[in-house]
Structure 1
Amino acid sequence: MSRTGRLGRVHAARTLGEPEAAASGLPDPGLRDSPAVDRTPTSRLALGVFGGCRRDGAWVVPPRFTAWSMWGGGRLDLTEARFAARETVIRAVALWGGTGIVVPDDIDVEVRGLGLFGVFGGCRARGAGRPGAPRVVVKGLALFGAVVVKSPRGVR
């Protein structure tokens, strides 16, 4: 059935069963496609020195990624990212700077690092992601700076 024909049937529906009949043959809605892929990673490093760095959109995260912010800021957004491995380790270092990492709700995240005269944290109380989802471990150091891991709901 064509898209315009299906929409016409939905708009013309007068009973609850008519839209269901128009939707027959459509795939079931589900979670996003598999976040683990076998493609080549897009980049392995995000570096912000006396400035900023940003990595977002559709990109492939390698098994080991380094985010370095020194007298500047950085942002990693993993909400549209795909992962080259089931477990990814992100080493985040913030020296007199800050790094924000946004992680999707459907992956397992572990945050462990040291905040020395700074902050290293976020998402500690969050449970595991959906079964078979990738696991992201964020570790590193925040010295007079901050590394903060958030879900997309916590980002404004």
Structure 2
Amino acid sequence: MTEQPAAAEQPPAAPGTLACDEDRERAVERVRAAVAVGRLSLAELDDRLGRVYSARTLGELAVVVRGLPGPGPRGALVVDRVPDSRFALGVFGGFAREGRWVVPQRFTSWSMWGGGRLDLCEARSASRETEIRAVALWGGTEIVVPDDVDVEVRGLGLFGVFGRRGAGGARRPGAPRVVIRGVALFGAVVTKPKAVGKSLR
């Protein structure tokens, strides 16, 4: 790890270099992290995010994040960022949370005459223990978790199914814990593992 900063020895890009989507995403992460620890207010969050997305050059992005801490280590199990969402609802339709997103300490989902999918395999956690409250009424919710994460399912199936499919693998030291609670009434809430390699980080 001591050799990792070697990449930073490369000459920095000129301020006039056009910014790409990845540059903007890094700036957004720094702004959100600053809000999470109280360095910025919600009003400042809106202002800075607007400036990030309107920035055309690296120099303009540098002005937006000036005075904010740099990005934390990549691949951290728990990140100090504002969660992307805390609630998902599917009524006569569906919802999906997948890809790279920040899972809050408590997340609630409702599926009523519809379906939903929560994929935690590329997500990051805002807390070492995450609680997902899933309710399925004449609907279904699928929760996909990394195989090396500590998962506990505590749910009730009434004329439905609330359970886990498949067995978990070896737990990593310090791996996040996910507790899934809720009820399935004439519906299903199913938690299943995904191959190690795409992990909750």
Q: TM-score, normalised by structure 1?
A: 0.74
**Which 5+ residue runs of structure 1 have no aligned equivalent?**
1-31
Whether the 8 Å CA contact 2:136–2:188 is kept in 1: the answer is: yes
Higher strand share: 1
Q: Are the structure 2 counterparts of residues 126 and 152 from structure 1 closer, same or farther at C-alpha, using a change threshold of 3 Å?
A: closer
**Which one of the candidate residues 34, 39, 42 is aligned to 2:81?**
39
Rg larger in structure = 1
Secondary structure in structure 2 of the residue aligned to 1:130:
coil
Whether the 8 Å CA contact 1:110–1:124 is kept in 2: the answer is: no
Say yes or no: does 1:68 pair with 2:82: no
Q: Cα distance, 1:34 vs. partner? A: 2.1
Structure 2 residue identity aligned to 1:56: E
Question: What CA deviation, in whole Å up to 9, does each residue of 1:97-129 have, x standing for no partner?
Answer: 000000012211001100000000005753662
> Identity of paired residues, percent?
75
**Which 5+ residue runs of structure 2 have no aligned equivalent?**
1-73, 196-201
CA distance in structure 2 between the aligned counterparts of 1:89 and 1:128, rounded to whole angstroms? 21
* Aligned ranges 1:6-155 → 2 under 5 Å: 33-123=75-165, 125-126=167-168, 129-153=171-195
Q: TM-score, normalised by structure 2?
A: 0.58
Greater relative contact order (Cα < 8 A, sep 6+)? 1
Q: Are the structure 2 counterparts of residues 124 and 115 from structure 1 closer, same or farther at C-alpha, using a change threshold of 3 Å?
A: farther
Question: What CA deviation, in whole Å up to 9, does each residue of 1:28-70 have, x standing for no partner?
Answer: xxxx822311111000011100100011010000000001100
Higher helix share: 2
Instruction: Detail structure 1 runs of 4+ shifted over 6 Å in the superposition.
Output: none
Supply the RMSD in Å over aligned alpha carbons.
1.6
CA distance in structure 2 between the aligned counterparts of 1:142 and 1:86, rounded to whole angstroms? 26
How many corresponding residue pairs?
122
